[in-house]
Amino acid sequence: MAKKKAGKLVRRSCGAMAAHMMLLERYPAFRAAQMRLEGTTERRTQMRFDAAKAKLVTIKTVVNVVYKTPEQNISDAQINSQIAALNKDYRAANPDRNQTPTPWKGLVSDVRMEFKLAKVTRTKTTKSSFTSDDLVKKASTGGIAPFQPKTYLNLWVCPLGGGLLGYAQFPGGPQATDGVVINYLAFGTIGTAQAPFNKGRTATHEIGHYFNLRHIWGDTPDCSGSDMVADTPNCAGANFGTPTWPHITCNNGPNGDMFMNYMDYTDDPAMFMFTTQQVLRMRTALDSARSGLA
């Protein structure tokens, strides 16, 4: 009998909210920054800010590869494949957006962000895997510190334990840990990227958090949670795999959950859109808490 490959990723699992709750507890200034940003977002929503007219920005991106085995020291080509995937998804230029169900086609929105690889760092570690505790972001704990995180988006690519695909820090947090961490098995579209997480969508999802997007079900195990975005239907919980449309929860019929949204937990081939209000939220984060990037 064939032995199951160790570390096989079965379904999406993101550590962003766990990391977020920890940071809110530990840094009162982060809590205040998040509240300010929420206020700014609310005002822009009321003013009907048109994010479709926002200027095209290029996000300078640093990729920090942290590896123990040679396999984990992913190739430049694999890194470039991730940047290419982001440049499709964040411009709504991904061909699979055409699979968006008809009632929501008009919501599919261009974030008007492009990503340019500015620098790659490679760090050999003795650690077999990391988790959402930020140890990968410090040299003394087997990782590497971010490079100028006010002006560069930092991505760390490393082995993550517990089936975690990635996690991100929301805007307004400490500089020393600012950025996005992605499992090397779910990064880019070639090399070590494993199906069904080999279309680069873990980074698309996590960078969504980095620009202040929440999971579309609002991170509660019922209908009470909200992603603070008006044009994503209220839904009960995460969707996994490749669901069949419609999947109705929380009286959200006839169209049901927007599980093809990048901020759900579906597999890479099953997610392919951000909405207009999500883009407003991201652009507000870019213009305020993350203005150093632009």
Length, in residues, of the chain: 294
Least Cβ distance, residue 242 to Zn ion (angstroms)? 18
Nearer to Zn ion, 16 or 285 (CB): 16
| Region for residue 229 given its phi and psi (left: phi exceeds 0; alpha: psi -120 to 50; beta: otherwise) | beta
Q: How many CB atoms are located within 10 Å of the residue 167 CB?
A: 27
CB of 126 to Zn ion, least distance (A): 28
Q: How far is C-alpha 147 from the geometric centre of its chain's CA atoms?
A: 19
User: What is the Cα–Cα distance from 111 to 283, expressed in whole angstroms?
Assistant: 8
CB atoms inside a 10 Å sphere around CB 78: 19
* Sheet with 57-67, edge to edge strand ranges: 113-124, 57-67, 153-158, 180-183, 166-168
Catalytic residue among 38, 42, 71, 206: 206
Q: How many residues bind Zn ion (CB under 5 A)?
A: 2
Cβ closest to Zn ion, residue 21 vs residue 52 = 21
* Least distance CB 204 / Zn ion (angstroms): 11
Instruction: Please choose, out of 9-17, 144-152, 177-185, 235-243, the segment that lies near Zn ion by the rule CB under 5 A.
Output: 9-17
Which of 201, 183, 206, 205 shows the shortest CA–CA distance to 65? 183
Pattern of binders to Zn ion over 11-40, x per CB under 5 A?
---x-x------------------------
User: Between residues 67 and 210, which has the closer beta carbon with respect to Zn ion?
Assistant: 210
d(CA 101, CA 58): 30
What's the closest the beta carbon of residue 19 comes to Zn ion, in angstroms? 10
Residue facing Zn ion at closest CB distance: 14
- What lies within 8 Å, CB to CB, of 44 at 6+ separation is 280, 284
Q: Look up 206 and say whether it is catalytic.
A: yes
Smallest gap from residue 280 Cβ to Zn ion (A): 19
Our CB check for Zn ion shows the closer of 67 and 259 to be 259
- Between 67 and 281, whose beta carbon lies closer to Zn ion? 281
Q: Which residues pair with 160 in a beta bridge?
A: 130
Is residue 181 a contact point for Zn ion (CB under 5 A)? Answer: no
Residues annotated catalytic, as ranges: 206
Residues that bind Zn ion (CB under 5 A): 14, 16
